[in-house]
């Protein structure tokens, strides 16, 4: 929980003052305080519609003091995130093929490494697939992580056909008896049609080698972009059906409120959240932890 609190501090700081005022107040929040809270929540990039609903709830239900107002807020925020059950690594599919996609620099390669670390810790035999055929540095980066984490890796050559590399990675995972194949891909702009088509080809190659694959397609969204990332998400979802989202760089963002928009609009679970750069900094997404860290519940004591 401590790292959730730290990671969300930039976003939380936007409304920490208003919250602390609420905590101390014995009276129901006045109009000025509610206006201030509304403005703070919007700056933290919570969706406008949600903030409107929150304010209506607060005006209606928080009549007995500031602490009650925070309780109403907490409950409404949790409800807005919906259910995001922990991902179960165990599966009848062997290998379980997980495709990691996203725009340039969103955090895909780092996230692949962190996922490998998490899966290994649950006893899975993991194979990393370095499928970034655009940048040799991308492959080197994942190799560094594989070495650091003592994890197996297969890599495609720079300039190779991404679909062929994907096909070979599944073959390697099958040959080695891996439980999970985590396949990194090159960063691609959601607006570039040929690159999005390449992603479809990658999906096709995976299915050709192993019917049913990819079993998971996870989109990595950079939290520093806030709701701007939603446009990307819709385009990726249209190109290749996503099964989950991963939010990266929450620790560097003051717009973590956009997570509420992702939860509402994308229609796929938020699977993991990146709270820092280290291998332990990827955590299963937990709505209650997220909201508690946003409201600074533990700091309050």
Binding site for ligand GTP (CB under 6 A): 102, 104-110, 132, 138, 187, 248-249, 251-252, 274, 276-277, 281
| Residue 294 contacts residue 77 (beta carbons within 8 Å) | yes
Contact 188, 150 (CB under 8 A): no
Residue 156 as a binder of Mg ion (CB under 5 A): the answer is no
Residues 4 and 1: their CA atoms lie apart, in Å, by 5
CB of 226 to ligand GTP, least distance (A): 15
CB of 36 to Mg ion, least distance (A): 41
Least CB distance from residue 277 to ligand GTP, whole Å?
4
**Which of positions 85-144 make contact with Mg ion (CB under 5 A)?**
108-109, 138
- Residues 6 or more apart in contact with residue 28 via CB below 8 angstroms: 62, 63, 64, 65, 66, 68, 69
Q: Which residue lies nearer to Mg ion by CB, 95 or 102?
A: 102
For 27, the enclosing helix (H) or strand (E) is none
Q: What is the 3-state secondary structure (H, E, C) of 140-198?
A: HHHHHHHHHHCCEEEECCCCCCHHHHHHHHHHHHHHHCCCEEEEEECCCCCCCHHHHHH
The tokens for 13 are 């700081």
State the binding partner of 106 from Mg ion, ligand GTP, none, CB within 5 to 8 A by kind. Answer: ligand GTP
Q: How far is the CB of 44 from Mg ion (least distance, A)?
A: 28
Smallest distance from the beta carbon of 229 to ligand GTP, in angstroms? 13
Kindly tell me which of 38 and 281 has the beta carbon lying closer to ligand GTP.
281
Based on CB atoms, which residue is closest to ligand GTP, 19 or 115? 115
Residues that bind Mg ion (CB under 5 A): 108-109, 138
């Amino acid at each position: 929980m401590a790292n959730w609190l730290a990671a969300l501090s930039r976003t939380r700081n936007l409304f920490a003052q208003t919250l602390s005022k609420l905590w101390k107040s014995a009276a129901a929040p006045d109009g000025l305080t509610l206006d201030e809270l509304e403005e703070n929540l919007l700056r933290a990039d919570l969706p406008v519609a949600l903030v409107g609903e929150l304010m209506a709830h607060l005006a209606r239900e928080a009549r007995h003091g500031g602490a009650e107002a925070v309780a109403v807020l907490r409950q409404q925020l949790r409800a807005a995130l919906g259910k995001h059950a922990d991902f179960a690594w165990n599966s009848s599919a062997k290998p379980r093929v997980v495709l990691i996609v996203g725009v340039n620099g969103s955090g895909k390669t780092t996230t692949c490494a962190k996922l490998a670390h998490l899966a290994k810790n649950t006893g899975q035999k993991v194979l990393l697939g370095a499928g970034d055929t655009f940048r040799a540095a991308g492959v080197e980066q994942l190799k560094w992580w594989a070495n650091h984490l003592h994890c197996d890796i297969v890599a495609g050559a720079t300039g190779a056909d991404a679909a062929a590399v994907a096909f070979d990675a599944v073959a390697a995972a099958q040959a080695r008896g891996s439980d999970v194949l985590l396949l990194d891909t090159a960063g691609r702009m959601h607006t570039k049609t040929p690159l999005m088509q390449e992603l479809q080809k990658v999906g096709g190659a995976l299915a050709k080698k192993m019917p049913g694959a990819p079993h998971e397609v996870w989109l990595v969204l950079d939290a520093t972009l806030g709701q701007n990332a939603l446009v990307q998400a819709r385009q990726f979802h249209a190109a290749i059906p996503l099964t989950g989202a991963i939010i990266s760089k929450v620790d560097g963002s003051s717009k973590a409120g956009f997570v509420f928009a992702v939860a509402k609009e994308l229609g796929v679970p938020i699977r993991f959240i990146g709270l820092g750069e280290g291998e332990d900094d990827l955590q299963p997404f937990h709505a209650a932890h997220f909201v508690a860290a946003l409201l600074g519940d533990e700091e309050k004591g």
